[in-house]
Structure 1
Amino acid sequence: MKKVWLGVLLLALFTFMGGCSQSSGGSEKEDGKKVVKVAISDEVNPPFLYADEKNNPIGYDMDYMKEVEKKLPEYTFEYIWGEEESNLVGVDTGKYDFAINWFFKNPEREEKFLYPEHEFGYSLTSLVTKKDRNDIKTLDDMVGKKFPPMSPSGGLRTILNAYNEQHPDRPLTIESMDAPSNAENLKLVAKGKADAMFINVTTFNEIQKELNLDLKVAGIISKEPIWTVYNKDNEELANKIDEVTVELREDGTLSKLAEKWFGVDFFQDLKYINEEGFKFEK
């Protein structure tokens, strides 16, 4: 019985020590550095995050993390590919310390995860039209015009719903469809069966590479913050990375990375981003 109780006590001790290590962000290595397990999504979204020919993660997100690593030498960051929803479950359960990709905030996620105070980048939403149209640049221009069908949920629909709440006398007409195809919707615009599509610039660019439709980005509508999401026990780690994010923004590093990967500094305001001559081609 003494051996049994000794085993129980040792198990409890190891469990407690493991919990302490997890709460501060990672486990100890022999060199004294803490290992931080970072979940990255195999549902890639260039140029935020994708893989090179050797399956190494590259993109804006990874360049940002390289700069974070330089500022936090007390940590060793390990990156693990995985399906996005599984990654989020892993962060929630403590399998991973945090996840990075193209995450937005919503009430459900904020209940489960710890968000830092500052975003590390932006997703640009846009209106895409036929190349020969110059009458559509803003959401105001879409009043009385036709969008392709949209999912009834999701971040893009939320933006349009908010517009309608702010303009009850001049609402946008939005047709709903479960799981619509971005590619098919863009084809509707190219054929003139819809006036414009509301879509993220990066999503449009990737589809356009394949389809080469007679379309253009007519105007940038909004900048949507993107975030890392942490296990709620990793407040210390989240705060340290958040401090680094502020430093990287203030010293211009993140602006340079935005220029490198997107062709424009998306930390500037929308007037700058929409200035004449910017072609949205990168």
Structure 2
Amino acid sequence: MKRILILIMALVGLTVMMSGCSSQETVDVTADKIILVGTQNDYPPFAYADENNELTGYDIEVVKEIDKRLDGYTFEFVATPWDSMFLALESNKIQAIADQVAKTTEREERYLFTDESYFAAETVIVVKSGRTDIQTIEDLEGKNVGALAGDSYTLLLEEHNTKVDNDIILKYSESGNPAEILQDVQNGRVDAYVNDPIMINEVIGKLGLDLEVVGQALVNDDMGIVFKKDTQGEELKGLIDPILKQLKEDGTLVELSKKWTGGEYIPE
């Protein structure tokens, strides 16, 4: 009986030891670090919710390609309204922004951008079809123009207003939805809107709006992924920049650009 008890105790001890080893192995396995990426869900073809309410688009697929090539990290998307995008970054609710954010001097003073840009965008004016009195930014002076607070297109108009006497009358959107502003142009609530022609034409086609892009491009911007100016931001920037360079050099960005926009809009 004593020998049996000793044998049972030994088996129990072995089981506990094996269980302990198993728990230790679980603890030692390093899980991927989750990085939350903020993006809009209403900005086609760059970032929008599809018919299954899944985020998709050019910017989304660029980040997914980065995710494939970066070990130790997993990127998850957070649909975030434009007007609260940078606040979410500053409060660490998200750790990066991939949402067609143009590099500007003011933004680069406050945030980190990837050195490598992943898209080259134009800024154009859109009006109701047949309208001939608006062709340039000067033609917008004294007229009502739809705007989203804080985006690069609005900043361009706000900067213009600091240099002229007859201001462009900016009508800031409460919804933060570019498609609704384009509908306002259609309905005559505003005279024009300034944004990216690819997005504009996508929405015009989808909603059947009677609008057209007029004049020449006002400016050309390079888009980068944005991070908070802190240690984690520096780390992410250092990891992602080489991958963006790879995606550019191996033609992946060109393929994605053609797929989502119909053209090659990749910075050199």
Deviation at 1:48, TM superposition (A): 0.8
C-alpha separation in 1, matches of 2:166 and 2:266: 28
Contact preservation (8 Å) 2:45, 2:202: no
Q: 2: distance between equivalents of 1:147 and 1:127?
A: 13
- Per the alignment, residue 59 of structure 1 pairs with 57
Structure 2 equivalent of residue 201 of structure 1? 197
Q: Number of paired residues?
A: 231
Q: In 2, Cα distance between the equivalents of 1:71 and 1:152?
A: 34
Q: Does 1:184 align with 2:184?
A: yes
What SS does the corresponding residue of 1:236 show, helix, strand or coil?
A: helix
Q: 2:225 aligns with which of 216, 219, 228?
A: 228
The 1:86/1:126 distance shift into structure 2, 3 A limit, reads closer
For residue 178 of structure 1, report the CA deviation from its aligned partner.
4.1
Equivalents in 1 of 2:166, 2:254: separation in Å? 34
Pairs within 5 Å for 1:96-245: 96-105=94-103, 109-110=107-108, 112-132=110-130, 139=136, 143=139, 147-151=143-147, 154=150, 155-160=152-157, 174-179=168-173, 182=181, 183-188=183-188, 194=191, 197-205=193-201, 207-209=203-205, 211-218=207-214, 219-231=216-228, 232-234=230-232, 235-245=234-244
Q: Residue type matched to 2:195 in 1?
A: I
- Which is worse superposed, 249-258 or 86-95? 86-95
- SS of equivalent residue, structure 2 residue 231: coil
SS at match of 1:266: coil
**Alignment RMSD (CA, Å):** 3.8
Compute the displacement of 1:59 (Å): 0.9
Which one is further off, 54-63 or 260-269?
260-269
| Correspondence for 1:49 among 47, 50, 59 | 47
Per-residue deviation, residues 107-156 of structure 1 (Å, max 9, x unmatched): 665455322222222443222245456886x627x548874334596422
Post-superposition offset of 1:262: 1.0
Q: Is the 8 A contact 2:38 2:96 kept in 1?
A: no
Q: Determine which structure has the larger strand proportion and give its number.
A: 2
- Consecutive unaligned residues in structure 2, runs of 5 or more: 1-26, 175-179
Q: Which residue of 1 aligns with 2:16?
A: none
Q: How far off is 1:241 after superposition?
A: 0.5
Residue type of the alignment partner of 1:184? D
**Which one of 77, 81, 87 corresponds to residue 78 of structure 2?**
81
Cα deviation 1:46-67 (Å, max 9, x = unaligned): 1111233433321111211222
Q: Distance in 2 between matches of 1:268 and 1:134?
A: 32
In structure 2, do the counterparts of structure 1 residues 55 and 107 end up closer, same or farther at CA, with 3 Å as the change threshold?
same
CA separation of 1:131/1:104 partners in 2, compared to 1, >3 Å: closer, same or farther?
same
Return the index of the structure with the highest Cα Rg.
Answer: 2
